[in-house]
Amino acid sequence: MSEQNITLPDVGEGLTEAEIVSWHVAPGDRVELNQVIVEIETAKSLVELPSPLEGVIGSVLAEEGQTVEVGSAIVTVQTDGPESPAPATVTTGLQAAATPDPATPAPAVSSVSAEAESATADTASTIAPSNEGEGSVLVGYGTGGHASSRRRKGLAARRPTPPASVPAASAGPVIAKPPIRKLARDLGVDLAEIEGTGLAGEITRDDVVRQASQASVFRNIETPEWGDSREERIPVRGVRKAIANAMVSSAFSAPHVSLFVDVDATRTMEFTRRLKTSPDFAGVKVSPLLVMAKAMIWAVRRNPMVNATWTDEEIIVHHFVNLGFAAATPRGLLVPNVKDAQSMSLLELAKALEQKTLEARDGKTPPADMKNGTITITNIGVFGMDTGTPILNPGEVGIVALGTIKQKPWVVDGEVRPRFVTTLGASFDHRVVDGDVASRFLADVASIIEEPALLLE
């Protein structure tokens, strides 16, 4: 028996360090090849790391909450037989995929594709031959067998017993991946109360989010007591560090100019209600944000300078829209973007926004989805805010904030009537966008919110 180190791999995000979130094994546990052993947090996502070795866990070299550099040893494994060469390169679903069967279509690179989630409840990884004789490449999210095969040795004894209040006849064990279980904990959802809709009966992200109303996702449920200490010190790392660097870079490099306009959104509310009852949109989340997204795309075509990138040598005007949206998640603010949103139908855009929102809340947004955005929406209305002065997403020259939509007195044809009113707030990079262009763009967005039928022209 020999002892070998497992090191923190490069998960393909161009990052140099990650934080240990939770260990799935302990010293003395026996691990199998590709068994998930630890969950790490990078500046962009949560990633489960599988083991490239079989054997018994020796020592855990990095504690939960510790930040570890790529290449550092994080755990030792006592393997059977003589000492072998260094273990195969560990990759995840965010990185390279295994060599595919020529007769089988290549799987998506992202570990969070809807197909991967709905196809199986198995999070075990797969081994495939690598190129150039480098040994096996470990793929963090591959196809698997039956759901029961994903139970890990050494963990079953530590799993808590289901509450006594759950009826014994409640359809057997809960089948859900670790990220889904974490999402349920974050949202306060009891998985035992959910009937899974996955092909193998597993619980999906959609199942969890449907169980928890959107209004309660980030609402302050209770007022906690202060602890015994007079202060709390929170290390600046991970997502918070990435947010801070991005906001400082944007605020102090791009001269911001902000505009605001009140809008009668009554017809947008009527339009979204009709969409919700349409068979074509059955099971798809529809909200005023969808109309806002379409309005932004329409207004960009009429005012292309707001969909640009500034460099010291030139202004790059994009003839496509990678529409970003600020997503508040339990881990912090993320800004994924929908690629080529200008080519999508209203239904396709609704599905894309819903999928990427779920991925962001679950900490599984692929790094590629947070790059190369061209313009951004931030929906502060979900928090009850009327408006704000948003900071530009780095590399972009325009961002629009959608405020809360609520009934207010509004003058219509000389009479005061109750109407659904919202406020749009927008910021622009004044190096690129002049006041007249910014004003025309925001007026165009407002015109669609006031009359969504203009989108049909």
CATH code, domain with 271: 3.30.559.10
Q: Tokens 């829209």 sit at which residue?
A: 321
Strand-pair partners of 412: 415
Indicate the pairing of strand 315-317 with strand 30-31. Answer: unpaired
428 within a domain of the structure (yes/no): yes
If residue 402 lies in a helix (H) or strand (E), which one and from where to where? strand 398-402
User: Rounded to an integer, what distance in angstroms lies between the CA atom of residue 337 and that of residue 325?
Assistant: 6
Residues 443 and 300 in one domain: yes
Residues 308 and 433 in one domain: yes
Average pLDDT over residues 106-125: 36
User: Rounded to an integer, what distance in angstroms lies between the CA atom of residue 112 and that of residue 336?
Assistant: 14
Residues 180 and 295 in one domain: no
Query: What percent of the chain stands above pLDDT 90?
Result: 43
Q: Is the pLDDT score of 69 beyond 60?
A: yes
The pLDDT value recorded for residue 43 is 67
Verdict on whether the full-model pTM lies above 0.85 = no
Average pLDDT over residues 408-427: 95
161 within a domain of the structure (yes/no): no
Average pLDDT over residues 328-336: 83
SS3 state of residue 269: helix
Confidence of residue 309 (pLDDT cuts 50, 70, 90): very high
Q: Which two tokens stand for residue 185?
A: 């904990």
The larger pLDDT score, comparing residue 288 to residue 124, is at: 288
HSE-CB for 115 with a 13 A CA cutoff: 8
Residues 74 and 180 in one domain: no
Which residues contact residue 374 at a Cβ distance below 8 angstroms, ignoring those fewer than 6 apart?
307, 308, 309, 318, 320, 321, 322, 323, 324, 337, 396
User: Rounded to an integer, what distance in angstroms lies between the CA atom of residue 9 and that of residue 366?
Assistant: 17
Q: Tokens 């909200």 sit at which residue?
A: 287
Q: Tokens 């970003």 sit at which residue?
A: 324
Residues 299 and 435 in one domain: yes
185 within a domain of the structure (yes/no): yes
Residues 59 and 201 in one domain: no
The pLDDT value recorded for residue 355 is 92
Per residue in 153-204, pLDDT (tens digit) is 333 334 444 444 334 335 456 788 877 887 888 777 788 778 787 877 788 8
70 within a domain of the structure (yes/no): yes
User: Rounded to an integer, what distance in angstroms lies between the CA atom of residue 191 and that of residue 176?
Assistant: 8
Residues 283 and 408 in one domain: yes
Q: Domain with 211 in it: what CATH number?
A: 4.10.320.10
Indicate the pairing of strand 415-429 with strand 406-412. Answer: antiparallel
Q: Which two tokens stand for residue 68?
A: 């570890």
Sign of the dihedral defined by the CA atoms of residues 47, 49, 50, 56, in that order: negative
24 within a domain of the structure (yes/no): yes
If residue 244 lies in a helix (H) or strand (E), which one and from where to where? helix 238-251
Q: Is the pLDDT score of 298 beyond 60?
A: yes
Residues 195 and 293 in one domain: no
The pLDDT value recorded for residue 256 is 94
The pLDDT value recorded for residue 220 is 54
The pLDDT value recorded for residue 16 is 80
- Helix ranges (H only) for 126-173 are none
Residues 407 and 283 in one domain: yes
SS3 state of residue 53: coil
Which residues contact residue 360 at a Cβ distance below 8 angstroms, ignoring those fewer than 6 apart?
327, 329, 334, 336
Give whichever of 128-142, 326-340, 368-382 has the largest mean pLDDT. 368-382
The pLDDT value recorded for residue 430 is 96
225 within a domain of the structure (yes/no): no
Pick left, alpha or beta for residue 304 (phi over 0 → left; psi -120 to 50 → alpha; otherwise beta). alpha
Cα distances from 226 to residues 118, 218, 231, 314, in angstroms, run 42, 20, 9, 52
The larger pLDDT score, comparing residue 96 to residue 228, is at: 228
The larger pLDDT score, comparing residue 264 to residue 130, is at: 264
395 within a domain of the structure (yes/no): yes
The larger pLDDT score, comparing residue 443 to residue 100, is at: 443
Confidence of residue 235 (pLDDT cuts 50, 70, 90): confident
Average pLDDT value over all residues in the chain: 78
Count up the domains in the chain and report the number: 3
Give whichever of 117-121, 331-335, 409-413 has the largest mean pLDDT. 409-413
Q: Identity (one letter) of the amino acid at 153?
A: K
HSE-CB for 402 with a 13 A CA cutoff: 25
Q: Is the pLDDT score of 122 beyond 70?
A: no
Per residue in 250-260, pLDDT (tens digit) is 988 899 999 99
Average pLDDT over residues 426-431: 96
Residues 120 and 183 in one domain: no
Per residue in 38-58, pLDDT (tens digit) is 988 876 677 888 888 899 999
Residues 139 and 182 in one domain: no
User: Rounded to an integer, what distance in angstroms lies between the CA atom of residue 302 and that of residue 442?
Assistant: 11
Average pLDDT over residues 6-22: 79
Q: Is the pLDDT score of 109 beyond 60?
A: no
Q: Identity (one letter) of the amino acid at 269?
A: M
Average pLDDT over residues 383-400: 93
Cα distances from 408 to residues 281, 387, 400, 411, in angstroms, run 29, 15, 22, 10
Give whichever of 122-126, 385-389, 421-425 has the largest mean pLDDT. 421-425
Confidence of residue 245 (pLDDT cuts 50, 70, 90): confident
Per residue in 70-82, pLDDT (tens digit) is 889 999 999 876 5
Burial 101-117 (b: 16+ CB within 10 A, else e): eeeeeebeebbbbbebb
Q: Is the pLDDT score of 362 beyond 50?
A: yes
- Helix ranges (H only) for 141-287 are 178-187, 205-211, 238-251, 266-276
Average pLDDT over residues 137-162: 36
> In terms of Cα–Cα distance, which of 401, 406, 354 is closest to 379?
401
Average pLDDT over residues 222-231: 79
> In terms of Cα–Cα distance, which of 408, 406, 400 is closest to 446?
400
The pLDDT value recorded for residue 123 is 34
The pLDDT value recorded for residue 244 is 87
Q: Is the pLDDT score of 89 beyond 60?
A: no
Q: Is the pLDDT score of 273 beyond 80?
A: yes
Strand-pair partners of 49: 38
The pLDDT value recorded for residue 138 is 33
The pLDDT value recorded for residue 140 is 33
The pLDDT value recorded for residue 405 is 93
Query: Which are the catalytic amino acids?
Result: 430
Residues 306 and 337 in one domain: yes
What are the φ/ψ torsions at residue 263 (nearest 5 degrees)? Answer: -135, 140
48 within a domain of the structure (yes/no): yes
Average pLDDT over residues 233-253: 85
Q: Which domain, by its residues, includes 432?
A: 243-456
